[in-house]
Amino acid sequence: MIAIVEPASMATGPLKEFLPLLRCPETGQPLVLDGQRLVTLSGDREYPVSPRGIPVFAARQCSDDARKQQAHYEKIASAYIENLGYPHTEEYEAALDRALLAAIGDVDLGTVAEICCGRGEAFRLLRDRIRQGVGIDISLSMLDAAQQANRTGRFAFLQGDATMLPLATGSFDSVFMLGGIHHVNDRRALFSEIARILKPGGWFYFREPVSDFAPWRWIRTIIYRLSPTLDHETERPLLWRETVPLLEASGLACRHWSTHGFFGFCLFMNSDVLVFNRLFRFLPGIRQLTRLATRIDDAILSVPFLRHAGLQVVGAVQRQQTQAVEPPKMKVDLA
């Protein structure tokens, strides 16, 4: 098979529109495009741009955890993407998408950063409400997939570390992480970076694995060590008691926290973990069965003492204004 590589002028051309949103992650300086590289105004830092037009920031500076995640996802990217395409996975993810949309509400998302973007899931779901978007991931393979899935000049994709974002301060109306926070161990640095790039009053939305329900926490401890697609050293589901204080310390007020997914999530959203799950795609009526499972899970989690027992959390967090603000009014579905 012959690889088709875009000419340099085509690959880097769209980047020019995004330069005001980019910064050197080491010095914070603005960047200019010089051929197939981005260069700081002082000329002392430069970053290559891949043949597909993806700036490569992590080659110079990157945390050890990000390096491990990079190696992990370069190895499993194709299998991971395949699993997301199974009909039962798509159906259950659609239910999680509805929970996320409910948390966002009917608002204009403006200029958006999607961190640990993978295939650009937030961009795919919300593209009509995004004016301009920048996706960041540590895996070039995932970024290639994101480009293929989001073929529009309104989105640019960068390779970088989530704890040292190559993005300009106060430039984004919204930030998304859908399944990325649990890959980052240094969450204080992550949340500080998110607060830095958000405009005052801007929103951070996330959907992540959560383990506040003790049985799930125990089961995940075992699964994360046994599954070849998971890395127990760099992946850690969220806990309310850890996450919210770190968000608040970074100037991010938690406005919404609700959990979703129960037994149905275990069966239909873990094709990358449970091998037998992959066979479900051959079952007649699997989409209808999955939709039924989502309704059962919702019913279970509506029981007051189980409202905190979901396997996924959807959160909406707002960056505090620079002036004094009233204490946040938070919607939290915890018993």
Structure tokens given for 241? 């008691």
Judgement on whether residues 13 and 70 belong to the same structural domain of the protein? no
pLDDT at 9 over 60: no
**Rounded percentage of the chain residues whose pLDDT exceeds 90:** 67
pLDDT at 274 over 70: no
Question: Which CATH number belongs to the domain containing residue 160 in this structure?
Answer: 3.40.50.150
Judgement on whether residues 151 and 188 belong to the same structural domain of the protein? yes
Q: Distance (Å, rounded) from C-alpha 206 to C-alpha 202?
A: 14
Which of 20, 52, 7 has the alpha carbon at shortest distance from 134?
Answer: 20
- Give 1's pLDDT tier (boundaries 50, 70, 90): very low
pLDDT at 155 over 50: yes
Structure tokens given for 74? 């370069």
Neighbours of 222 (CB within 10 A): 10
Judgement on whether residues 106 and 129 belong to the same structural domain of the protein? yes
Region 286-299: what's the mean pLDDT? 96
- Give 56's pLDDT tier (boundaries 50, 70, 90): very high
Tell me the H-state helices in the chain: 8-12, 64-84, 87-104, 121-126, 140-149, 187-197, 214-226, 240-249, 263-268, 286-301
Out of 108-112, 221-225, 249-253, 278-282, pick the least confident: 221-225
- DSSP β-ladder status, 312-319 and 252-260: antiparallel
pLDDT at 205 over 50: yes
Q: Which residues pair with 143 in a beta bridge?
A: none
Judgement on whether residues 27 and 86 belong to the same structural domain of the protein? no
Judgement on whether residues 86 and 47 belong to the same structural domain of the protein? no
Q: Distance (Å, rounded) from C-alpha 64 to C-alpha 222?
A: 24
pTM more than 0.85: yes
How confident is the model at residue 325, as a pLDDT? Answer: 37
Instruction: Classify 217 as helix, strand or coil.
Output: helix
Region 153-167: what's the mean pLDDT? 95
Judgement on whether residues 184 and 211 belong to the same structural domain of the protein? yes
Residue 209 near residue 269, CB atoms below 8 Å? no
Rounded-to-10 torsion of CA 274, 278, 280, 282: -160
Judgement on whether residues 257 and 125 belong to the same structural domain of the protein? yes
Judgement on whether residues 47 and 84 belong to the same structural domain of the protein? no
- Give 324's pLDDT tier (boundaries 50, 70, 90): very low
CA angle 14, 15, 19 (to 5 degrees): 135
Q: In terms of residue numbers, what domain contains 12?
A: 1-56
How confident is the model at residue 223, as a pLDDT? Answer: 78
Judgement on whether residues 171 and 83 belong to the same structural domain of the protein? yes
Judgement on whether residues 131 and 206 belong to the same structural domain of the protein? yes
Judgement on whether residues 11 and 104 belong to the same structural domain of the protein? no
How confident is the model at residue 272, as a pLDDT? Answer: 57
pLDDT digit string (tens) for 96-112? 999 999 999 999 999 99
pLDDT at 10 over 50: no
Judgement on whether residues 12 and 94 belong to the same structural domain of the protein? no
Domain count, the chain: 2
